[in-house]
Amino acid sequence: MTISSRADIPAARRIVVKVGSSSISGENAGKIQPLVEALAAAHGRGTEVVLVSSGAIATGMPYLRLAERPSDLATQQAAAAVGQNVLIYRYQEALRPFAIVAGQVLLTAGDLENATPRSNARRAMERLLGLRILPIVNENDTVATHEIRFGDNDRLAALVAQLIGADALVLLSDIECLYTRPPDEPGAEPIRRVRHGDDLSRYAFGSVVVNSVGTGGAATKVSAARVATASGVGVLVTSADLVDAALRGEDIGTWFDPHPDPVGTAAGPVTAPVPRTGADTLGR
């Protein structure tokens, strides 16, 4: 169905939700529970839900006795190998009271850029959804390299939404909506709606933000929204703390209108890959 506004989200047949490392790891690990409760409520309403979750590296760091995010690729891969296992366990434990089973899907950029693995990934996720499994998607950081990685999970989420023909994409952030400039700067104003074709070049979204656990920021979310909306997928950007309100269609966040005449299908990418944002460490 066509989702033309945030108010239509509860009626969506299929939704992709993306959450970042900082929202569900470290001192915020307890926020997995309310996130899962919101996803379970949507699932219970009959919506097919796919979760794109960062957090593998951040979750694995304490088990490797790392006080800071590792800078070298091999240690990032090791942390991801440990953390992905723990992260999925935490999600499954939170889902257990709702009798929902999680299915882990790990992808590399090559999986979505090449026809055969792309088709395989789509078929696997379609079958999981048909079985009422909740797919939890992340980049396969254990084997990803700087040259072939997605760059950030906002982009991955947009490509997954495109791949499975989602009706809407919800990108969860640390703030309630996007602003015309960094929200701590004078003159910053909230952006509530971005219509198809709006010129956003006058806004100062800033470059990628690299914190102690992940990569991301407003610029990556805008780029990802452009990819998703080109495929006819409406996009909502809002706070992870407001995920339940977002999935219930409340008037929150920044809404990106979908392209009124989508230019592609799940058979292949409809746009050129989103340019890398400059971060040179894995983003999960």
3-class DSSP string for 85-144:
HHHHHHHHHHHHHHCCCEEEEEECHHHHHCHHHHHHHHHHHHHHHHCCCEEEEEECCCCC
pLDDT of residue 150: 60
pLDDT of residue 206: 56
d(CA 21, CA 4): 29
pLDDT of residue 214: 47
What pLDDT, in 10s, does the model give residues 179-226?
Answer: 998 888 898 999 999 998 898 888 877 544 444 444 457 888 999 999
Residue in 161, 163, 145, 177 with CA at minimum distance from that of residue 253: 177
Question: pTM value?
Answer: 0.89
Q: Which residues, listed in sequence order, are joined to residue 76 by a DSSP beta bridge?
A: none
Tell me which amino acid residue 119 is: S
The answer to whether 54 is annotated as binding is: yes
Task: List the structure tokens of 87.
Answer: 């992260």
- Under DSSP, is residue 169 helix (H, G, I), strand (E, B) or coil? strand
pLDDT of residue 143: 81
Residue 122 clears pLDDT 90, i.e. is over it: yes
Which residue has tokens 């979760």? 51
Containing H/E element for 164? helix 153-164
What pLDDT, in 10s, does the model give residues 23-34?
Answer: 999 899 999 999
Q: How confident is the model at residue 272 (pLDDT cuts 50, 70, 90)?
A: very low
The answer to whether 174 is annotated as binding is: yes
The answer to whether 53 is annotated as binding is: no
Q: How confident is the model at residue 149 (pLDDT cuts 50, 70, 90)?
A: low
Sheet strands (E) in the chain: 14-19, 48-53, 102-107, 134-139, 168-173, 178-179, 190-191, 193-194, 209-210, 215-216, 234-239, 254-256
How many of the other CB atoms lie within 10 Å of CB of 104? 16
The answer to whether 173 is annotated as binding is: yes
Task: List the structure tokens of 178.
Answer: 């996007």
Strands 102-107 and 209-210: unpaired
d(CA 284, CA 82): 13
pLDDT of residue 165: 96
What is the per-residue burial (b if ≥16 Cβ within 10 Å, else e) of 13-43?
ebbbbbbbbbbbbeebbebbbebbebbbbbb
Where do the domains of the chain lie, and which CATH numbers do they carry?
6-256 (3.40.1160.10)
Q: How confident is the model at residue 151 (pLDDT cuts 50, 70, 90)?
A: low
d(CA 160, CA 228): 9
Tell me which amino acid residue 214 is: G
d(CA 144, CA 80): 10
